[in-house]
Amino acid sequence: MPLTRDQMADVKLIKQTIEELLSDDKFLTLISNKIEQKLGIKESQQKMVELEKQIVDLRHAKNKLECDLEKFQ
């Protein structure tokens, strides 16, 4: 079903608005910052997982050292 004149006018207006937004540096900066924020959250979560693994490794090392120390006493 073909678009009416009003619908075509709406499509043109939407297209023009999108083109204006994409040419606006402030808009692009805002979008870029939002994306970086989202990615930053993922990076922080990955760092937390790595730190938790390091904590587990340190606990294992501590337990091993304590066992070794008990053997020498």
Query: Mean pLDDT over all residues of the chain?
Result: 90
pLDDT in tens, 36-73: 888 887 788 888 999 999 999 999 999 999 998 888 87
User: What global pTM score does this model have?
Assistant: 0.46
Query: What 3-state DSSP class applies to 3?
Result: coil
Q: How far is CA 48 from the centre of its chain?
A: 14
Q: Confidence band (pLDDT; 50, 70, 90) for 28?
A: very high
As given in the structure block, the two tokens for residue 62 are 């501590």
Q: Is residue 8 over pLDDT 90?
A: yes
